[in-house]
Structure 1
């Protein structure tokens, strides 16, 4: 009992001490008059950005609306509207002066849209802020008369009609690609079937990239037939050996058939080859890498009677005889056109198809080549001035763009862009695709994989340099110098082949570097644009405050003539 009384008295003493604290230097909470209302609330919409474009396969998608509202006295109500329809209303806030919220809208359809955030304070002052955004189909035809496009980037969808192929058997993807992130490959007793009734017309073109396999020794590639008689539709197939395969074409003309013995692909080269064939009412032509290799005459136009589907990767139900069964080759970037393309048009198609990333920076970071997701770090902006188009990227301290490296890591690579250099920082990263340096997380500088394009110099001149990792070593190209004081747009390009690198300024080759081995992409999963961060910071190559326009990547080595042509466009 004595012990309990001691504890009780101690507790009372503590309470008295606590109650008297306001007299020991701690002020009590007192109400402060906020004064008169100075004006309407301030509204900021962080997402979507004005002019943002959504491109997804889904016909209806979602968008996250991020916004902030501030008022000098108290926010009474906030309304969020999409296309002038209220989708959310809120009036209770943890902090009545500063509100940051997110609202998800799940009914975004194709077309133009507006997001409005309307805030009202206690005095009835109202502020509205509106941004515009749009949703577009995942792919807008890039070429005239384009009828079908299948990129095979993890699905079997035609991006023009959004129709899916039916899968027969057990198919997987190639795990490699010419463009994008993946490619089609067949397997035993397996193929794709796509609705195809001949509405492409009697004159048409098919084109694709192909890494041929000699196993099995013969296979169907693209087949659109009505039955096994070969008098309707067409059959594109291959025959040969483990060393070479001949691409052939058979066309049904109703009362008969036409044969085109095509041309040969070297299996051992293991390279992506562009294959195309054109059909007119009187002849067919097969092209390999843009060159016509053989022509076949047609006694009559192609007959589409009874043709209902296109079989991809096998002879299918109408052409499996003669052992034209599944094709284990890799096939990518399949396109059909409802006209017979000329040789020049096929060459242009090849050049355009080699684009793997294309950023015009005309007020947004939309990748026109493959709809790649681009992420902004920090606060990069736009110039209001451009080398081409209406706008360009404006660099800022601590700011840059990132994108997935998927589909960019080819053995042959080129990149081009316009550049107006700012030497406020005497060195900076421009384009970096390197692995994470886990041994030096705060000063990353692992240079045995990927590449690093950067600049170094002073307030008067900056040298553009390139470093390429070859697995066990690295290669340096000391590039060329840009005059900072000129304040002009300069066209910059570089190419990487299996043996060398070349840097071009304004269309002229300024330096060449030798590679002891091809570029090694091990561990490379990210592209940084206009900064060395986060993978190339060890030597202070941080954000670039320069301006950039019309950035394009290619999975081929551009020639000097091609670079000069792009510069002149």
Structure 2
């Protein structure tokens, strides 16, 4: 009999263990003391995500979790304020409820709000809400566009509506981290996406996308369409292509290899194809392959271009996104842990102009085809017979009758000032937190005082407005004035509430009887200081609190008018050549590099 009893006890113990499988261990709590409200977390749909499918309506999977310190009483799920599901007790795990099989059917286009409210046995409740949207099906935006992946909370190609196979555990960057939309691809070790190449293996091929570089590891595959490796170990570069990056003296160099069947060609721009990963900025990358040429672009500029006889797609049956794996790994080009956004593929070779257009559309910023000569340069007027700004291909507006000098430091001509004459140029796209300007200048002291380069707000409160203005709380004023027969060069910078002076005193003086030739002038403005340079040497500097651009609508070139006239800094009859702006504060070495170029 005692053996029968012992067996029953053992069986009951086994049953207790079996019943507790799948249930989290219970943490001891004070009986009957419900201290906190439930906690609710929603994992799907993702907040801010955008759903685009080829149908007018779609079904949305919903996943969430509710936890409570004592016991979950009930759960209410609402879509746009209407209850779509309720759960009232009977939970297997009464302190942790996981729901991942709820589906909302018939979601229409528009903005949507999902709310999950949980209530515990003590009546305390908590709600969690996510907002997301459904948009009409994506229509190709550009000629020949055959793949578009915006990575806005899902991996889907919005043109073919294929979902790639997911290797490893890539994730999504937040809306704040992304270039555009509500998310971006976030790489991880061993992670990448693959798609079949059906419809992608055309005689011509182009890809364009944005990358925020994570240089760990120091080499990675980005986009590859290659056949399986020879003997499983050797890259077969004679077919398909591989676009990848690798360390080059601390920078990342981007390269393309493409196969034409009987061999392969390299497209390696050397230092031109290097990007500094430490900036943390989004970089636009594009490459095109035709039957006669292949080209690599970085931020819209050609960094490598060579003849190419046409691509061979034999046995290229997989497109790998953000890795060289599985077919291009011989040299260690595995997963890229960078961020990627706005991936597009075309069935033709797009032009540089189209690359720039796509860049501008994606970023919402103006993108120029004019290649900068110096780091940070984003405005250039050579004054070679016109007042054209080269990056934007826009001419400055003439006030009065400015002219041309008939001589220059560089090129064929230079700006020549005249009485009551100057140029204006809009500040849109030029108001960076740090700013520099360089120019060559040939002084004419017919006027003792003159504005050289000024930008400021209207001084509508001035009693003499509009003829007399002098509001200096934003923008800057670079000018010269007579001091004992010498011409002193000064800078004034407004930080939003006050202004700061950069006045080097006698160091910033030039004798107009001696300084009759071309001199080089530069101003630099950062968040902490401002400097004036003459012929590459600092002649005045001061600590400042940054620059504020409020109500600064245009630059005046060759005058203080119309916003800086109270002290007689009107038109400058001097000559100006090679005027450049920069979106950074140049160092002295950089100022000298510009001057000596």
Distance apart, 1:520 and its partner CA: 0.9
Please tell me whether Structure 1 or Structure 2 has the larger radius of gyration of its CA atoms: 2
C-alpha RMSD of the superposition: 4.3
- Is the counterpart of residue 83 in structure 1 residue 80 in structure 2? yes
Match of 1:431 in 2: 223
Match of 1:122 in 2: 121
Deviation per residue, 1:321-345 (Å, 9 max, x gap): xxxxxxxxxxxxxxxxxxxxxxxxx
Which of 40, 44, 47 in structure 2 is aligned with 1:43?
40
Question: Structure 2 vs 1, CA of residues 20 and 44 (structure 1 numbering), >3 Å: closer, same or farther?
Answer: closer
Deviation per residue, 1:59-84 (Å, 9 max, x gap): 33322112222333332222222222
- Is the counterpart of residue 478 in structure 1 residue 268 in structure 2? yes
Deviation per residue, 1:422-479 (Å, 9 max, x gap): 2132122222334567985xx9966565432221116821111223355676554334
Match of 2:205 in 1: 413
**More displaced, 106-115 or 401-410?**
401-410
**Separation in 2 of the partners of 1:549 and 1:520?**
26
Question: Structure 2 vs 1, CA of residues 475 and 132 (structure 1 numbering), >3 Å: closer, same or farther?
Answer: same
Match of 1:111 in 2: 110
Which of 8, 15, 26 in structure 1 is aligned with 2:7?
15
Match of 1:465 in 2: 255
1:95-494 equivalences in 2 (<5 Å): 95-101=93-99, 102-139=101-138, 352-360=142-150, 373=163, 377-382=169-174, 384-385=176-177, 393-403=185-195, 405-434=197-226, 449-457=239-247, 460-470=250-260, 474-479=264-269, 480-494=273-287
TM-score by length of structure 2 reads 0.48
Is residue 424–residue 459 contact of structure 1 (8 Å, CA) maintained in 2? Answer: no
Question: Structure 2 vs 1, CA of residues 19 and 131 (structure 1 numbering), >3 Å: closer, same or farther?
Answer: closer
In structure 1, runs of 5+ residues without a counterpart are: 1-7, 23-27, 143-351
- Is the counterpart of residue 522 in structure 1 residue 315 in structure 2? yes
Distance apart, 1:497 and its partner CA: 2.2
Match of 2:68 in 1: 71
Distance apart, 1:389 and its partner CA: 7.3
**More displaced, 390-399 or 68-77?**
390-399
Question: Structure 2 vs 1, CA of residues 21 and 111 (structure 1 numbering), >3 Å: closer, same or farther?
Answer: closer
**Separation in 2 of the partners of 1:69 and 1:459?**
50
**More displaced, 28-37 or 408-417?**
28-37
Question: Structure 2 vs 1, CA of residues 17 and 116 (structure 1 numbering), >3 Å: closer, same or farther?
Answer: closer
Is residue 50–residue 152 contact of structure 2 (8 Å, CA) maintained in 1? Answer: no
Aligned residues: 344
Is residue 466–residue 476 contact of structure 1 (8 Å, CA) maintained in 2? Answer: yes
Question: Structure 2 vs 1, CA of residues 139 and 500 (structure 1 numbering), >3 Å: closer, same or farther?
Answer: closer
Deviation per residue, 1:310-361 (Å, 9 max, x gap): xxxxxxxxxxxxxxxxxxxxxxxxxxxxxxxxxxxxxxxxxx2212223455
**Secondary structure, counterpart of 1:380 in structure 2:** strand
Question: Structure 2 vs 1, CA of residues 449 and 78 (structure 1 numbering), >3 Å: closer, same or farther?
Answer: farther
Match of 1:332 in 2: none
Question: Structure 2 vs 1, CA of residues 59 and 554 (structure 1 numbering), >3 Å: closer, same or farther?
Answer: closer
**Separation in 1 of the partners of 2:42 and 2:12?**
48
Is residue 289–residue 310 contact of structure 2 (8 Å, CA) maintained in 1? Answer: no
TM-score by length of structure 1 reads 0.50
Question: Structure 2 vs 1, CA of residues 392 and 13 (structure 1 numbering), >3 Å: closer, same or farther?
Answer: closer
Is residue 379–residue 399 contact of structure 1 (8 Å, CA) maintained in 2? Answer: no
Distance apart, 1:128 and its partner CA: 1.7
Is residue 451–residue 467 contact of structure 1 (8 Å, CA) maintained in 2? Answer: yes
**Separation in 1 of the partners of 2:190 and 2:214?**
15
Is residue 241–residue 257 contact of structure 2 (8 Å, CA) maintained in 1? Answer: yes
Is residue 240–residue 311 contact of structure 2 (8 Å, CA) maintained in 1? Answer: no
Question: Structure 2 vs 1, CA of residues 471 and 100 (structure 1 numbering), >3 Å: closer, same or farther?
Answer: farther
Is residue 362–residue 390 contact of structure 1 (8 Å, CA) maintained in 2? Answer: yes
**Separation in 2 of the partners of 1:434 and 1:53?**
32
**Separation in 2 of the partners of 1:44 and 1:459?**
45
Question: Structure 2 vs 1, CA of residues 130 and 366 (structure 1 numbering), >3 Å: closer, same or farther?
Answer: farther
Is residue 111–residue 134 contact of structure 1 (8 Å, CA) maintained in 2? Answer: yes
**Separation in 2 of the partners of 1:57 and 1:19?**
57
Match of 2:53 in 1: 56
**Separation in 2 of the partners of 1:14 and 1:386?**
65
Distance apart, 1:493 and its partner CA: 1.5
Match of 1:558 in 2: 350
**More displaced, 420-429 or 34-43?**
34-43
